[in-house]
Structure 1
Amino acid sequence: MKHTKHFLFIIIATILVTIFQSCKAPKDKQADKPLPNIVLINVDDLGWKDLGFMGSEYYETPNLDILAKEGMIFYNAYAGAANCAPSRACLLSGLNTPRHGVYTVSPSDRGNPKTRKLVPIKNTKHLNDSLYTLPQMLKSAGYVTGSFGKWHVGNDPKKQGIDINVGGSDRGNPGSGGYFSPYKIDNITNGPKGEYLTDRLTQEAISFIEKQKDTTFFLYLPFYTVHTPIMGKEELIAKYKDKKGSNGQNRPDYAAMVASMDENVGKLLTAIKETGLEKNTMVIFTSDNGGIRAISEQNPLRAGKGSYYEGGIRVPMLVKWPGKIQPNSRSMDRVVNLDIYPTLQQIVNPPKKAPLLDGKDLTPIFNKQAAAQRDLFFHFPVYLQKYSGIEDGGRDPLFRTRPGSVIISGDWKLHEYFEDGALELYNLKSDPGEANNITEQNPDKTKELHDKLIAWRNKMNAPVPTVKNREYDATFEQTRIMQQGKEE
């Protein structure tokens, strides 16, 4: 009898435990659901059309072409700014340039002083340590963070949310001859003589993945490539010397750098698969700004790095997130690198969130929901001189950009220049090359966008340069413009 009672007790207890666990199952399942590992690849100075999946017929990027098929391509993606320091500051802070004050690679008074009509706004070199960065936000959600490559928004990435740093400091390029070991960047040990920097950074990133495979990690891979100096591997340069160029893309040494970058992205993706992490890893690929026009043209887009015409701010971007983004997805929505921070914050739901972000959550677009219409704004109250001896496709041959602001609203784009108050209006759908200024034909649209731009600047407390430069010499400037025109 005692045995029977004991047996019945065990059965009843088992049933009760099962019922209790079954009632708790949904909550436990949600709590135990792992957050995705996040890999953010940010290539330096890679143009919008410098990849096979974006339409290049000269560069070969087989690994990225496969990745593009596995995720979503954003054909209308923008950098937060037209050159590296401000764009990276936007990406890592989630804030537009007037909020963090990083407008360019210091100083802000670049170019011949006799050709500048205004005294530019003083530039902030680095992100202020008080700003809550993307890596810090992810750390609050339990992520282990690693950065492998160019940091450029502070002296020490470890003070801005990075646990493991290889190669990152305030440096903006690898230095003369610096793509081959012995290296000239900080926080890296030299490899064997002749080791290629892009290979090394990827090896370090793969080692990070292998060590952190049982954690949840954020891997930031900001390659120094394809920034100048243009230095590719000799065997790849030789390969492209035998290939015919196409549509303004014809440099074998630059093609070799693109090929090495693609090869290393392939190595990284293979490592993620081999460690069994692919299904729970989000991969984001983009560039920090447009490409240098003299090295690689982005036709039909106008101009290149440093310009706020489309060639300077439009960038390639794709996102792969297995189970969340359908393969072979395409988006024509206008997005900006400011959107990456709020998107990741929405996904990881950290205990400590950023108090303010200027971008938008992209997860509805991942789910193919219609994106809410919003305007994009760019502010550049400083000067950026032209590349020596190069026709950059800018407004004049002396500067890639003079002080001004830009708004993109739907298919319309308005430029405002502070020196002379000039306005330029373009319809990007019919004129992606910004060749025909149609302000006179569209006075109402011009006023509408200009009013929006002014209202945005007021809201952001965006500084506008108004002090005249006493060194400015109109005769000297016109002489220099004529001389440059003859040279080019």
Structure 2
Amino acid sequence: MKAQHISLTALSLLPILPISAKETNTDKPNIVMFLIDDLGWNDFSCYGSKFYQTPTIDSLANTGVMFTDAYAACTVSSPTRAALMTGKYPARLHLTDWISGWNYEWAKLKIPEWKKYLSLEEKTVAEYLKEAGYTTWHVGKWHLGDDEKYWPENQGFDINIGGNYKGAPIKNKQGCGGYFSPYCLPRLENGPEGEYLTDRLTNEAVQLIEQQGEEPFFLNMAHYAVHAPLGAKPEILKKYEVLTDSSYFQNNATYAAMIQSVDESLNNIINALQRKGVLNNTLIIVTSDNGAVHRTSKNYPLRKGKGSEYEGGVRVPLIINWKGHTLVGKSTEKLAITPDLFSTILDAANVNVHDKNVDGISLLPIIQGKTTEERPIFWHYPHYHDGGARPYSAVRLGTWKLIKQYDNDSYELYNLKADISETKNLNKKYPQKVKELKMILTQWLHSVKAQFPTPNPHWDPKKEKKKGKYNGI
């Protein structure tokens, strides 16, 4: 079955109308969680890109709410996905790095023994929704455990298409084609040679929607795109090769073409919802699991990218659209972070969560224009990463962000409203602000029982420096 490709999105064509008789079950809306992999904060045109074209996503923002200060729970993939599934910070889960993580044996600090799977003891958003009468589908990337027992079908999903241990498409000399079939991905049969992975996953999701009965559904649409190894459809790639402009801070034609395919994927899903007659009663959330890889898509004006403790590593786009239930065409500077999506989804579905360890808060009051209190958000990454991160913890409260670097026991303080690029470390100028945020961060780390790096008995400064990657060289 081929997905439709049309130039105008269903959202731009449809006025906001009263919900029809067919869509009266508003206590249990359908939910589409549209998660893009390694996509940066400004990789949509509605977020400022002059090169990437995202008409569907732009329309979704224009008829919903766009968050300017939304964040991933981690600077890398797996912890963010675990936070989405559980509503808990990665530090609380002790799942703090991508699976299987980096090993810097000569580094100054030794990383803790962290979990490399999403524990079956954790109750996922899919399990909550399933108990509430939802049909639950996972389509795409999972990356939350190598053993099959940790895969989606054992974490509350009725159907798992393409979810496995892999964090990226498989491309090798044995014939696996990356974004082009044969995929060689567990839980996804190969398609015709040359079939494009983003299209295939979309077609699978569209078919699930079209075949669904009257029960509400939860679609966790987790694209492998736009993760490396990059691969784009030739006809779209040619378009962006012509449009490439060296004056743009973004100019990777392959990456641009992949983003267009992701945008078309969302368009096709929205069209399927419209044909099914359930679009007006569907909550749609679009976001990313971490920032873009800096060498692939410059995150300017943000500092660095995926694998970094700075804004380019963790600030992501977030758009929420639920017709008749959210503001229209509004942007908000209210803080949001991945665990909040868990709580937002369950709040929209009228599902009560009694787990006192859930960290996320519902964003429904924000997207409905209600007054909300300021609160801190946190990160804890006791690891090294070749994107630049050293073991760190961080807190953002209001416009202030404090970063604790463990390898030299130092603090960095930034005022993001005045300095979104994090160029001026204000720790010496505002010692009282450092003290305030340090106390908040320390209390939080204690409350979640965070794991910490320890001195590495095998530390070799010469070999560490030669490795050179994790400090951004």
Distance 1:213 1:293 in 2: 43
Q: Which runs of 4+ in 1 moved over 6 A?
A: none
Map 1:155-234 onto structure 2 (within 5 A).
155=148, 156-176=151-171, 177-234=177-234
Indicate the residue corresponding to 1:303 in structure 2: 304
Residue by residue over 1:368-416, the C-alpha shift from the partner in whole angstroms, topping out at 9 and shown as x without a partner, is 0122110011001122234xxxxxxxxxxxxx21111001011000110
Residue number among 437, 441, 461 corresponding to 1:474 in the alignment: 461
SS in 2 for 1:307: coil
Distance 2:467 2:287 in 1: 37
Q: Which residue of 2 aligns with 1:71?
A: 64
Query: Could you tell me how far apart the structure 2 residues matched to 1:124 and 1:32 are?
Result: 39
**1:336-347 superposed matches below 5 A:** 336-347=337-348
Of the candidates 81, 96, 120, which is equivalent to residue 89 of structure 2? 96
* AA partner of residue 77 (structure 1): A
Seen in structure 2, the aligned counterparts of structure 1 residues 83 and 32 have a Cα distance that, compared at 3 Å, is: closer
SS in 2 for 1:77: strand
Residue identity in the other structure for 2:181: S
Structure 2 residue ranges without an equivalent (≥5): 1-23, 172-176
CA, structure 1 residues 68+123, in 2 after alignment: closer, same or farther (shift >3 Å)? same
The one-letter code matched in structure 2 to 1:46 is: L
Structure 2 partner of 1:137: 128
Which TM-score applies when normalising by structure 2? Answer: 0.89
Equivalents in 2 of 1:181, 1:135: separation in Å? Answer: 29
Give per-residue Cα distances to partners, 1:190-236, cap 9 Å, x unaligned.
21111101001000001110111422000110000000011001111
Contact persistence 2:38–2:291 (CA under 8 A)? yes
CA contact (8 A) 1:110 1:385 kept: no
Q: Displacement of 1:263 after TM fit? A: 1.0
Task: Report the Cα distance in structure 2 between the residues aligned to 1:57 and 1:312, rounded to whole angstroms.
Answer: 21
Structure 2 residue identity aligned to 1:233? K
Confirm or deny: 8 A CA contact 2:117 2:144 kept in the other structure.
yes
Distance 1:190 1:481, change over 3 A: closer
Which residue does the alignment assign to 1:20?
none
Matched with 1:62 is 55
TM-score by length of 1: 0.87
- Distance change (3 Å), C-alpha of 1:40 and 1:369: same
Are 1:406 and 2:383 counterparts?
Answer: no
Aligned counterpart, 2:376: 375
Q: Deviations over 1:245-284 (max 9, x none)?
A: 3542101111110111111111111111111111111111
C-alpha distance 55-159 of structure 1, shift in aligned 2 (>3 A): same
Q: How many angstroms apart in 2 are the aligned matches of 1:275 and 1:331?
A: 31
Q: CA deviation at 1:477?
A: 3.8
Query: CA RMSD, aligned part only?
Result: 1.8
Which stretches in structure 1 are left out of the alignment for 5+ residues?
1-30, 387-399
Once the two structures are TM-superposed, the CA of residue 431 in structure 1 deviates from its matched residue by 0.5
In the alignment, which residue of structure 1 is the partner of 2:139?
Answer: 148
Report deviation, 1:353. 4.7
Contact 1:108 1:123 in 2 (8 A): no
Amino acid of the structure 1 residue aligned with 2:60: L
Residue 122, structure 1, aligned to residue 109, structure 2: no
Q: Which amino acid aligns with 1:235?
A: E
Identity over the aligned pairs, expressed in percent? 39
Secondary structure class of the residue paired with 1:401: coil
SS of 1:165 mapped into structure 2: strand
Larger Rg: 1
Task: Describe the SS at the equivalent of 2:333.
Answer: strand
Instruction: Name the CA distance, whole Å, in 1 between partners of 2:352 and 2:328.
Output: 31
8 Å Cα contact 2:346/2:352 also seen in 1: no
Cα-to-partner distance string for 1:149-194 (whole Å, 9 max, x where unaligned): 0011243211000001110112111111321111121111121111
